[in-house]
Structure 1
Amino acid sequence: MPSPISLQNATDDLTTLLQRYAVRGPRYTSYPTALNFSDSFSEADYQRQLLDARASTSPLSLYVHIPFCRSLCYYCACNKVITKNRGAARRYLDHLHIEIELLAKAIGRCRKVTQLHLGGGTPNFLDDAEMTELIHMLASHFTFDDSKRREYSIEIDPRTVTPESLALLRGLGFNRLSFGIQDTDPKVQQAINRLQPFDDVSALVETARVYRFRSVSTDLIYGLPHQSPTSFEHTLNATIALAPDRIALYHYAHLPQQFKWQRALEKHPMPDASEKLAILQLAIDRLTRAGYLHIGMDHFVKPEDELAIYQREGRLQRNFQGYSTCMSPDVLAIGVSAISSLRGSYAQNHKSLDDYYAALAAGRLPIARGVLLSAEDQLRRFIIMQFACNLKLDCKLLQERFHVTFAQKFADLLPALRQLQHDGILDISHEDITVTERGRLFLRNVCMLFDTSLTADQSRYSKVL
């Protein structure tokens, strides 16, 4: 058994590494990242990509973005529209219908939809009738998979959902729920303008289990005003008591130059860098002791969860919704600002409702920008996603797929890779490069080595730790 001194040395060493690698960088939900999309990518480019995708026989994934929220959470960096106007949903659904018809016409109905995700904003801004209409709309234009393997998920704001609405969602085929908790401390909630009694959240999670949702996830954020290791331990304990299948622990990205409403947080005391590192270390220790596996990039799951199983099998994937079993190589994204991912491209819809509505009113898919992936992009995407998802790069597999020898192709990176090995982040052999248990904290740093698309303005990225 290690002595108390050796344990303290290990903690001090990790703290030093956390400080050294606490830079800014992408979350790698795609490669190239959205900051590298170009407005020269046109609707015609996307239509050609859809035509290629039409020929595939593999399953299909759908993402629908519902942008509306009834109130503003000051930490938020999502594309959303703050409104209490119920008519906003009606107009939006009418335009979603047009986009769905255009997409279905382009890609056909041969491919089964094995994955569906509703995000936002607040998807449950839609009332029960509107939600039913949306699902019927999708099912009328695409072929929904009715097998047990399908994954139909939705992000839930606990403040605006009822047990009856959860029952409806289950009846509509949803089998996964994600609840936004962020922090259970009322003082923190007041500062971020998101008051939600924990008892309400707990009751909803219990209701979800009564209705036999296959999976319940929760989101937490560290780095918010008034947070400390002591206060956040209460949040961790309360969350663990809920026994969610997945816990996402995000580092708050303070980017007030991009999101002006975040300035409202600056009138409150914010945890400094050392306090945030202490919170992160506490969270990792507390969650792993509770039996959760740290699969990397902010996510903790139960050992029997499908994400953990897929990672052990080397099949885990990552997309704009985070980690995924990703039974489909193609994600069709629907709604304002939504980003589609096809085999050879990414395509993003207009970010403003006015532009989104205008394109659809003219009978056009509302594409604003995107990127066609070069052979080099696809090579680097493969490497980045192997590290981010499966914690290992098989150099032989890389050579088989892309006809390159890793040591020759990336000779210029070998000193940096050796440094990561020296720091205990990577294990390097002739056959493969493996992320260590410690290295899971530094996945974004590892991925950044292979990213040739990083912008010079680092302030546009969030801190990796």
Structure 2
Amino acid sequence: MQQDLILDDALIAKYDQSGPRYTSYPTAVQFHEGFGNADYARIARESNASGRPLSLYFHIPFCDTICFYCACNKVATKDRSKGNEYLARLHREIALQGELFDFSRPVTQLHWGGGTPTFISHDEMRELMCVTGEHFQLLPDDQGEYSIEIDPREATAETVALLREIGFNRMSLGVQDFDPRVQQAVNRIQSEEETLAVLDAARAEGFRSVSIDLIYGLPFQSRESFERTLDRIIEVGPDRLSVFNYAHLPQIFKPQRRINADELPPPEVKLEILHMTAQKLADAGYVYIGMDHFARPDDELAIAQREGTLYRNFQGYSTHADCDLVGLGITSIGMVGNCYAQNIKDLEQYYARIDAGELAVFRGLELTREDELRRDVITRLICNFQLDFSAVEAQWGIDFREHFANELARLEEMAADGLLEVTDTAIQVLPVGRMLIRNICMTFDAYLKQAGGQRFSRVI
């Protein structure tokens, strides 16, 4: 196995606990409803002074069927007219948000997520991109990173061609598992043929990158069954893979109540699957980026990690660290200036806000300087697996060892276990610690003890 990742069963068992994925810091648990439209609008307008590029996230919540494992915000319906109702409001929100940001700020990153973005028609997709371009400066194809989440059951070769035509150059395919028994148990029947047909179409149309999402820990999975899926995926060679650990939280996510917990693989089997997956992907030449993500060594993520420029936000790992993220649509989260802002989660309430000519922010958080400092520390660790004290000190005007004396003391046990090495000038995450990076970052989370009964997924 590549030496940038080593799995130690005893240490994984010791550190396997619930914890944040740190797509943000502070996490969404700290968002509060005292932060609203006026706060967001003020900070958004102030951000224009920076001239930073923009990243746009669009949430399209509709799904034709519900996958039982899903923890996303979605609306299950077979009525395609629902998409038209939603898009009418989304167009209006684009205009409202566009008024806050200078048009001169280029959109270097754009993403459609869901739900199922391809639930909407081809004409609706074309119109949505057109309306976006009227209010935000979209870049030429060779300069912007424009991505979309694809359900292969909802995408034909014609759909892929249309997406390429309107500017998308990256896509992520939801696969999870090719095993028929697993698919039946999670209510996602998806043939290998239709999945790979979309991947082939994307390559034929000139998409720069195709990523595939898998999930381990689903009902009836075994090491052998998941290996068959992984072998087929490696054979077709996507640019990136995300291999997520299924988090069974039926008390929070209602669809998961349809999954029989007795049919889930036990922890020792999940660990076998994880070992096998890491080994096979390493043997196939993939680099472990972190937090369930793998990429080819010539992929932009792998290059950015080697160069120390990788970033992480609500869209996952990114090469665009200097963007303000604008969230559009229900439940979407933006990260603009020193704030996070989340839109309303309920569809009818979202419609009412937009119909009244208002933004749809219902909660958020304005970060303190200490929040921003800790976010920087956590981001550096997650993205680079190392932290240079002098770089943090120069940016924030602190003495690192003095400011984080308690945190460094708490890292001593992890250092003794071989997860990391702490010197007078840096923290270096070792190969054993890379899979447990969430645990290391939790040391610098000032809010974790306040989370109370709030549940996060397990780190492994």
With structure 1 as the length reference, what TM-score do the two structures score? 0.96
Q: Which amino acid aligns with 2:458?
A: K
1:288 aligns to 2:282 (yes or no): yes
Corresponding residue for residue 464 of structure 1:
459
Displacement after TM superposition at 1:413 (Å): 2.2
C-alpha contact (below 8 Å) 2:6/2:432 kept by paired residues = no
Displacement after TM superposition at 1:230 (Å): 1.1
C-alpha contact (below 8 Å) 2:15/2:436 kept by paired residues = yes
SS of the residue aligned with 2:381? helix
1:255 aligns to 2:249 (yes or no): yes
1:407 aligns to 2:410 (yes or no): no
Cα deviations by residue, 1:323-375 (Å, 9 ceiling, x for unpaired): 01115420111000000001200000000001111111111100010000001
Displacement after TM superposition at 1:149 (Å): 2.7
Question: After the TM superposition, which of the residue ranges 420-429 and 208-217 deviates more from structure 2?
Answer: 420-429
Corresponding residue for residue 62 of structure 1:
56
Of the three residues 60, 71, 80, the one matched with 2:74 is: 80
Distance 2:295 2:61 in 1: 28
Of the three residues 171, 174, 178, the one matched with 1:180 is: 174
Q: Which amino acid aligns with 1:302?
A: R
Q: Which amino acid aligns with 1:315?
A: T
SS of the residue aligned with 1:333? strand
Distance 1:177 1:41 in 2: 33
Of the three residues 311, 318, 339, the one matched with 1:317 is: 311
Corresponding residue for residue 189 of structure 1:
183
Distance 2:239 2:255 in 1: 32
C-alpha contact (below 8 Å) 1:226/1:268 kept by paired residues = no
Displacement after TM superposition at 1:459 (Å): 5.3
Of the three residues 117, 123, 127, the one matched with 1:123 is: 117
Displacement after TM superposition at 1:228 (Å): 1.1
Corresponding residue for residue 146 of structure 1:
140
C-alpha contact (below 8 Å) 2:310/2:321 kept by paired residues = no
Question: After the TM superposition, which of the residue ranges 375-384 and 259-268 deviates more from structure 2?
Answer: 259-268
1:160 aligns to 2:154 (yes or no): yes
Cα deviations by residue, 1:274-313 (Å, 9 ceiling, x for unpaired): 1111111111111111100011101000000000111111
Cα deviations by residue, 1:84-129 (Å, 9 ceiling, x for unpaired): 1111111111101111111111112110111110000000001100
C-alpha contact (below 8 Å) 1:115/1:327 kept by paired residues = no
Distance 1:43 1:387 in 2: 33
Corresponding residue for residue 3 of structure 1:
none
Q: Which amino acid aligns with 2:320?
A: C
Corresponding residue for residue 37 of structure 2:
43
Q: What runs of 5+ residues in structure 2 fail to find an aligned partner? A: none
Cα deviations by residue, 1:55-88 (Å, 9 ceiling, x for unpaired): 2322111110000000000000000000111111
Displacement after TM superposition at 1:199 (Å): 1.4
Distance 2:454 2:326 in 1: 30
Displacement after TM superposition at 1:12 (Å): 11
C-alpha contact (below 8 Å) 1:329/1:343 kept by paired residues = no
C-alpha contact (below 8 Å) 2:24/2:314 kept by paired residues = yes
1:32 aligns to 2:26 (yes or no): yes
C-alpha contact (below 8 Å) 1:255/1:459 kept by paired residues = no
Q: Which amino acid aligns with 2:227?
A: E
Cα deviations by residue, 1:208-258 (Å, 9 ceiling, x for unpaired): 111110000000001100011111111110111120000001111111011
Distance 1:231 1:21 in 2: 27
Displacement after TM superposition at 1:392 (Å): 1.1
Corresponding residue for residue 272 of structure 1:
266
- Number of aligned residues: 456
SS of the residue aligned with 1:39? coil
Distance 1:461 1:371 in 2: 19
Q: CA RMSD in A?
A: 1.5
C-alpha contact (below 8 Å) 2:305/2:383 kept by paired residues = yes
SS of the residue aligned with 1:106? coil
Displacement after TM superposition at 1:267 (Å): 5.9
Cα deviations by residue, 1:374-433 (Å, 9 ceiling, x for unpaired): 011001000000011111111001111112122111211233212212222112211211
Of the three residues 347, 360, 370, the one matched with 2:354 is: 360
C-alpha contact (below 8 Å) 2:242/2:294 kept by paired residues = yes
Question: After the TM superposition, which of the residue ranges 290-299 and 431-440 deviates more from structure 2?
Answer: 431-440
Distance 1:244 1:351 in 2: 33
Q: What runs of 5+ residues in structure 1 fail to find an aligned partner? A: 1-6
C-alpha contact (below 8 Å) 1:25/1:458 kept by paired residues = no
Corresponding residue for residue 423 of structure 2:
429
Question: After the TM superposition, which of the residue ranges 301-310 and 229-238 deviates more from structure 2?
Answer: 229-238
Q: Which amino acid aligns with 1:360?
A: I
Corresponding residue for residue 129 of structure 2:
135
Displacement after TM superposition at 1:150 (Å): 1.2
C-alpha contact (below 8 Å) 2:44/2:337 kept by paired residues = no
Displacement after TM superposition at 1:207 (Å): 1.2
Corresponding residue for residue 351 of structure 1:
345
Distance 1:39 1:304 in 2: 43
SS of the residue aligned with 1:24? coil
Cα deviations by residue, 1:150-175 (Å, 9 ceiling, x for unpaired): 10000000111100010000011100
Percent identical pairs in the alignment equals 48
Distance 1:286 1:172 in 2: 36
1:227 aligns to 2:182 (yes or no): no
C-alpha contact (below 8 Å) 2:217/2:270 kept by paired residues = yes
C-alpha contact (below 8 Å) 2:41/2:100 kept by paired residues = yes
Q: Which amino acid aligns with 1:115?
A: Q
Displacement after TM superposition at 1:268 (Å): 5.3
SS of the residue aligned with 1:219? strand
Q: Which amino acid aligns with 2:53?
A: P
Corresponding residue for residue 418 of structure 1:
412
SS of the residue aligned with 1:400? helix
Displacement after TM superposition at 1:461 (Å): 0.5
Distance 1:141 1:415 in 2: 50
Distance 1:13 1:71 in 2: 36
Corresponding residue for residue 217 of structure 1:
211
C-alpha contact (below 8 Å) 2:141/2:169 kept by paired residues = no
Question: After the TM superposition, which of the residue ranges 202-211 and 377-386 deviates more from structure 2?
Answer: 202-211
Distance 2:438 2:431 in 1: 14
